[in-house]
Structure 1
Amino acid sequence: MRSTSSIIRTRRTARTARTAGTARTVAAVAAGALALSLTACGGTSGDKKSGNDRSSGGGGAETATVTLPRLNGAKLEVAAVWTGGEQANFKKVLAEFEKRTGAKVTFVPAQDPIINFLGSKVAGGRPPDVALLPQPGAIRQAVEKKWAKPLGPGAREQLAKNYSRGWQDIGKVDGKQYGAYYKAANKSLIWYNAKVFENAGAAEPKTWKDLLTTAQQVYDSGVTPFSVGGADGWTLTDWFENVYLSQAGPEKYDQLAQHRIKWTDPSVGDALTTLARIWSKKDYLAGGPNGALQTEFPTSVTQTFTGGDQPKAGMVYEGDFVQVNIGETKAKVGTDAKVFPFPAVGDTAPVVSGGDAAVILKDSEAAQALVTFLASPDAATIQAKLGGYLSPNRNVPDSAYPNEVQRTIARALIDSGDDFRFDMSDQAPQAFGGTPGKGEWKALQDFLKNPGDVAGTQAKLEKDAAAAYGGGS
């Protein structure tokens, strides 16, 4: 399912731009950083009877492109792990669906891992109607457990019109469409405090060696180079995946993602050793390793862009969705907060990404209508205008994105062809790649604390992977 040539990933709370405010950065991102894909065509026109002739409330789509049924009296629950601004913005999308259909939609905050959260809901006889699942592996599990229901013709029609074949395929299980990817993310970005770089005389790095030089310049200027949200283990898997893809190459990446090679393979050791060139330098991490392990993702962002030119750190690694958290500070994206593509460790810079897919758990006309809406340009355009969001839907206009940084990311996403790889840990069984305190998340947290233990970390990763994948490679 993701054996082509880039990577994508959206994650949990933060899940949810890419290039900075200078022309040089924008060109770099547009030219090669985002190798995500999409092609599609236009939508259908709405009609007055269905309520689809209005301009969307809250800055939504100007013209409805999807016809929705009247659902007066219908009640729906939608579960996702989104919090903060991400959740608030999604609720505005749900509010537009309510206006158009007359249905009532309740957002249900879920906990990670969401598959376990859903399991408890199913066991109690109260599953949500629709869930947003952040991993292809979770979609497959929901299908195998007979929780997920196939998407109907309306949703499939929107997918065919608005999404590339690749984005459709990653929502399928055994050839049947179960997921509609509502949201995407580029996770090969490093954001930086522009004033810190200016004071340090630092330039945006192109290679890992350049990154180390830049980090030393920032350190010498009196600012800690990196903020790391190590309390959320998924951020550490993203660090590893970028290094591994660039250093080991796409073929090895595919093999490791499918556990066709072991985590004790020398290529894994090489990537961990490369990571240790930053993680082993205590003074390079805000709060040192122990502080990083107590820092949640949102804080890792905000502490990079508060404090003027003396923040707790000069740089923070993560995806386009970092903009949501930057928005909680006084910093402005493109001026105070800038971004560069994750530097090349090997011959080619990595592009890691992912997405959140809408999956139906209680089949009904209302649930099918909601997923149809989420697969349309109308829904995505509303959230795009609110910022901190990237859609794999080709028919969301560039103008929907609120700044040039996001417009550049969106164009690169759509124009980059139909090849991409999905985030490695999201492809893994949940027990290994998506559970707090276990598997890859825990092993990399332990490695951040003790980056000298490369062999021990590999052994732990392989033991947990073999158990999760059903034994061996």
Structure 2
Amino acid sequence: MHSTSSTIRTRRAVRTAAAVAAGALALSLGGCGGSGGKKSGDGTSGRESGGSSVTLPRLNGTSLEVAAVWTGAEQANFKKVLAEFEKRTGAKVTFVPAQDPIINFLGSKIAGGQPPDVAMLPQPGAIKQAVAKKWAKPLGPEARAQLTKNYSKGWQDIGSVGGTPYGVYYKAANKSLIWYNAKVFENAGAQEPTDWKGLLSTAQKVYDSGVTPFSVGGADGWTLTDWFENVYLSQAGPEKYDQLAQHRIKWTDPSVKDALTTLAQIWSRKEYLAGGPDGALQTEFPASVTQVFTGGDQPKAGMVFEGDFAQVNIGETKAKVGADAKVFPFPAVGSTAPVVSGGDAAVILKDSKGAQALATFLASPEAATIQAKLGGYLSPNRNVPDSAYPNAVQQKIAKSLIASGDSFRFDMSDQAPQAFGGTPGKGEWKDLQDFLKNPKDVAGTQAKLEKDAAAAYGNGS
């Protein structure tokens, strides 16, 4: 099983930035036969053809350190990418395991005079902090050229501060997916829903068949923020989403009340949650996934909400993605289905020829293609070939992310100051855990969220 820190990494790496058009996402996930047809004039030919597009300098005798919170298979797969960089340049690259929150870990390393050359930062807020503290160094011309060539403007902007590019979004996540046990749905006569009413109806059918509908990894507060963000984005709309993400409206706003009230339609049904609220709050994210796909057609729950990265955990069971484990887009609560996405960005902390070369490599399709082939990974790089992804479901999720272009919203809690949106036992994570425990207290939850947000944002609004 994954450690708590690997669980947290998933969330950012994953958190969410891309709001893909509902129709495109539904189409992309609707079937799993092949990688689909080619498009013209939209970069698809580059994604299919691949080919070398990055020139790297020789760096014999150069040693570099890269810090990230990744563990397990994620770390092992990234090391294979670093090994290719070593092969091409002659540099030696050491992976430095970081603790979460990584911004605190980096602070201690910098205070000790030993910062890593490059750090993988999971939140736009963390990039802004690193720039404000004068830790982060701007990307050089070679890395910027790769960004322009391979990334939509939206992904470039997310990694920039004040118009200056600092971050290469090497990894992304589509966090608007609900995975389900296909046999459970078949036995219940349940269909994939497209709207919230349909989700409630599907949940009731699963419950009536004798299986608890939902598995929730409430021990990791980030899963709960992702639930909220999907409901809020769809119900309140992107303009309100942006305002709340920047604390330009308060958490006591009626739109937040509406979203929490909607969430309570599921969270207040104790019988709908595996183990009830108390059980959910003791379940970490990896277990929330695996318990849906173990136990045959009588698992602990029939569905689990989370991103494409859940495939890593499904892989720990005997379930096969696309057959035993299927997926549908998070249903529309308002007029449009949401897609929240997130990612990890490579940020240079020690400006050198080697660090700039590594950032340039990580911005290239070659680097992302290596990790894409290994599974459990999604890249916002539009020139990664669809064929690089190891299964049809992953290929279609990747296509939907690229198809979103600039029409995305990054995970709201990842845009917030770390104290509010990214710290276990504090801020939004803790407040939504308390709400899961007592979903009748909508007003009290709003008040706590606003109090914690105001403190973290410095009472800005």
For normalisation by structure 2, the TM-score amounts to 0.90
How far apart in 1 are the matches of 2:112 and 2:132? 19
Shift of 1:40: 6.5
Shift of 1:418: 2.4
Matched ranges for 1:172-187 at <5 A = 172-187=160-175
Q: Does the C-alpha gap of structure 1 residues 156 and 245 become closer, same or farther in structure 2, counting only changes over 3 Å? A: same
How far apart in 1 are the matches of 2:45 and 2:166? 22
**Aligned mate of 2:291, from 303, 321, 344:** 303
* Structure 1 consecutive aligned stretches of length 4 or more whose deviation exceeds 6 Å: 38-43
Matched ranges for 1:58-69 at <5 A = 63-69=51-57
Shift of 1:65: 2.4
1:353 aligns with 2:350: no
1:438 aligns with 2:426: yes
How far apart in 2 are the matches of 1:398 and 1:30? 17
How far apart in 1 are the matches of 2:45 and 2:191? 41
Matched ranges for 1:152-171 at <5 A = 152-171=140-159
Cα deviations across residues 432-453 of structure 1 (Å, max 9, x unaligned)?
A: 1111111111100111111111
State the AA in 1 paired with 2:176. S
1:126 aligns with 2:123: no
How far apart in 1 are the matches of 2:297 and 2:29? 25
**Aligned mate of 1:242, from 230, 233, 244:** 230
Specify the alignment match of 2:27 in structure 1: 27
How far apart in 1 are the matches of 2:278 and 2:44? 50
Specify the alignment match of 2:38 in structure 1: none
Shift of 1:254: 1.3
Specify the alignment match of 1:315 in structure 2: 303
State the AA in 2 paired with 1:410. A
State the AA in 2 paired with 1:336. D
RMSD after superposition: 2.3
Q: Which runs of 5+ in 1 are unaligned?
A: 1-9, 19-23, 32-37, 44-60
Q: Which moved more, 1:62-71 or 1:95-104?
A: 62-71
Cα deviations across residues 14-35 of structure 1 (Å, max 9, x unaligned)?
A: 54599xxxxx99626479xxxx
* Alpha carbons 2:8, 2:220 under 8 Å: kept: no
Q: Give aligned pairs, total.
A: 436
How far apart in 2 are the matches of 1:86 and 1:29? 24
Matched ranges for 1:307-346 at <5 A = 307-346=295-334
Specify the alignment match of 2:3 in structure 1: none
State the AA in 2 paired with 1:377. P
* Alpha carbons 1:112, 1:436 under 8 Å: kept: no
How far apart in 2 are the matches of 1:315 and 1:199? 14
1:382 aligns with 2:370: yes
Cα deviations across residues 155-213 of structure 1 (Å, max 9, x unaligned)?
A: 11111111111111111111111101111111110000111111111110111111111
* Alpha carbons 2:28, 2:396 under 8 Å: kept: no
* Alpha carbons 1:11, 1:354 under 8 Å: kept: no
Specify the alignment match of 1:48 in structure 2: none
State the AA in 2 paired with 1:211. L
1:266 aligns with 2:254: yes
State the AA in 2 paired with 1:373. F
Cα deviations across residues 204-255 of structure 1 (Å, max 9, x unaligned)?
A: 0111111111111111111111111111111110000000111111121111
Q: Does the C-alpha gap of structure 1 residues 456 and 181 become closer, same or farther in structure 2, counting only changes over 3 Å? A: same
1:13 aligns with 2:42: no
Shift of 1:78: 1.0
How far apart in 1 are the matches of 2:111 and 2:369? 36
1:194 aligns with 2:210: no
Specify the alignment match of 2:211 in structure 1: 223
Specify the alignment match of 1:401 in structure 2: 389
Specify the alignment match of 2:404 in structure 1: 416
State the AA in 2 paired with 1:252. K
Specify the alignment match of 2:282 in structure 1: 294
* Alpha carbons 1:304, 1:313 under 8 Å: kept: yes
Shift of 1:41: 9.6
Q: Secondary structure at the match of 2:147?
A: helix
Shift of 1:413: 1.9
Q: Secondary structure at the match of 2:9?
A: coil
State the AA in 2 paired with 1:152. G
How far apart in 1 are the matches of 2:258 and 2:356? 47
Cα deviations across residues 30-84 of structure 1 (Å, max 9, x unaligned)?
A: 79xxxxxx976999xxxxxxxxxxxxxxxxx974321111222222111112222
Q: Does the C-alpha gap of structure 1 residues 402 and 26 become closer, same or farther in structure 2, counting only changes over 3 Å? A: farther
Q: Secondary structure at the match of 1:128?
A: coil
1:203 aligns with 2:191: yes
* Alpha carbons 2:28, 2:397 under 8 Å: kept: no
1:140 aligns with 2:137: no
For normalisation by structure 1, the TM-score amounts to 0.88
State the AA in 1 paired with 2:207. Y
Q: Secondary structure at the match of 2:409?
A: coil
Shift of 1:415: 2.4
* Alpha carbons 1:394, 1:414 under 8 Å: kept: yes
How far apart in 2 are the matches of 1:453 and 1:224? 24
How far apart in 1 are the matches of 2:395 and 2:117? 33
Specify the alignment match of 1:97 in structure 2: 85
Shift of 1:416: 2.8
Shift of 1:405: 0.9
Cα deviations across residues 335-382 of structure 1 (Å, max 9, x unaligned)?
A: 010000001111111111111110011111111111111000000001
Specify the alignment match of 1:447 in structure 2: 435
How far apart in 2 are the matches of 1:461 and 1:414? 33
How far apart in 1 are the matches of 2:283 and 2:113? 36
Shift of 1:417: 3.0
1:83 aligns with 2:80: no
**Aligned mate of 1:149, from 100, 124, 137:** 137
Specify the alignment match of 1:21 in structure 2: none
Specify the alignment match of 2:34 in structure 1: none
State the AA in 1 paired with 2:309. F
Cα deviations across residues 374-404 of structure 1 (Å, max 9, x unaligned)?
A: 0000000011111121111111111111111
**Aligned mate of 2:241, from 253, 264, 267:** 253
Q: Secondary structure at the match of 1:357?
A: strand
Specify the alignment match of 1:4 in structure 2: none
* Alpha carbons 2:10, 2:309 under 8 Å: kept: no
Q: Secondary structure at the match of 2:347?
A: strand
